[in-house]
Amino acid sequence: MGNARVNNTHGHIGSSLLRGFGDDLPLDVWLKTKMWPMEAKFTAETIEAAASLAILEMLKSGTTTFLEMYHLHLELIANIVDQSGIRSVLTRGMIGLCSPLEQEKKLAEAIELNKVLRSIGEGRITTMLAPHAPYTCPPAFLEMVVQEAKKLSLPIHIHLSETAQEVQNHIDTYGKRPAIHLAELGVFEVPALIAHGVHLDAAELDILSQYEVAVSHNPISNLKLGSGIANIPKMLERNILVAIGTDSAASNNNLDMFQEMRMAALIHKGNQENPTVVSAQDALLMATYNGSKALQLEETGILKIGKEADFIVIDSQKPHLQPNQQVISHLVYSASGSDVIDVYVRGNCIIRNKQCLTLDEEKIIFEANRAFRNILS
């Protein structure tokens, strides 16, 4: 079996060393007591170890492209992308809860990084502007980001409506729901990709449809953090472009897009008590072609002459993939990342017979464990 590129459209690989460190906590508690205190201790070496580990994991489980939202050492991550051969959309996450001067500094840094990052990786790295979320970015700051995005013809990537509490807080502060507010601020006037979109009402879904906003559906992270289940069937009814992301290994706890794809197909059937919503075909498209469109990478969404050859090969002789006639069903409901044997990006073989040809797996695993011990001490 072969399949066009697999796109992980939302994540934070810089946090991958925190896998299993903050389980079974709600989002706000998880961020404030586990994630942010530990990330404050991160050094360049920590992030290099974390990013190398995550990229190795993604490649070995069949991901050919990933989007990263992170706030530290993006150039370092870009160099690992370059070395590994994977494709990436790198975004400098910006939290705007700071002075106007610091807001301007963060935005200027993101704009400069946009140029620097795109010069690395022989064209395999693109960028977006990434204000973190409406609850961490005041309206005036979001308007500044929109202005620059228009000027530079850059898409915007932002977390949106991940929890019910976040939405209620926004209504209490601004008197309107977050997606409606973002539309008023002009965020959707450029190509936009939102992460999560768990708590959107019908009017907000209409706005996403109207502005052709893409959604990165992160079902496993949303379940693990108790955030809820995004209404993907309603999005599909409105022809909203839905892609799939894993979010961080710290909230997932792995980066296997096959698991994510299966969950995206199954959870809505159970939640809506309707087995016809989100078909295997829908889920496969979300992980492949839709992801390419959501990341503005039109040249790689399908295997076709003239397109860039990003594809994976799966061991179709495994017992759980027999009888071998129902290919799409097996890819979504039966296969996992461990079935991937070869991975190609731009026609270059990166994983051959399950072995990574570009990264030192043994060294990466050793360095990841050492880096985690260092931040614990």
Domain range for residue 27? 2-376
Q: 75 pLDDT exceeds 70?
A: yes
CATH number, domain with residue 11: 3.20.20.140
Average pLDDT over residues 352-365: 98
Whether the full predicted model's pTM is greater than 0.75, yes or no, is: yes
Average pLDDT over residues 61-80: 97
Show the beta-strand stretches assigned E in the chain: 2-4, 7-8, 65-70, 87-94, 125-131, 156-160, 192-196, 214-217, 242-244, 311-314, 340-345, 348-352, 355-356
Retrieve residue 31's tokens: 């961020």
Average pLDDT over residues 6-23: 96
CB-based contact 66:7 (threshold 8 Å): yes
Give the confidence band of 301 by pLDDT, cuts at 50, 70, 90: low
Give the confidence band of 135 by pLDDT, cuts at 50, 70, 90: very high
- What confidence tens digit (pLDDT) does each residue in 149-192 have? 999 999 999 999 999 999 999 999 999 999 999 999 999 999 99
Average pLDDT over residues 335-350: 97
Burial grade of 341 (CB within 10 A; 0-12, 13-18, 19 or more): middle
Measured CA to CA, the distance from residue 90 to residue 68 in angstroms comes to 5
Average pLDDT over residues 322-348: 96
Retrieve residue 6's tokens: 């697999």
Retrieve residue 246's tokens: 């894993």
Measured CA to CA, the distance from residue 182 to residue 185 in angstroms comes to 5
Measured CA to CA, the distance from residue 154 to residue 364 in angstroms comes to 33
Q: How far apart are the first and last CA of the chain?
A: 46
How many domains would you assign to the chain?
1
Residue 91: how many CB atoms within 10 A of its CB? Answer: 29
Proportion of the chain above pLDDT 70, given as a percent: 99
Give the confidence band of 4 by pLDDT, cuts at 50, 70, 90: low
Retrieve residue 171's tokens: 């209504």
Please give the pLDDT value at position 254. 97
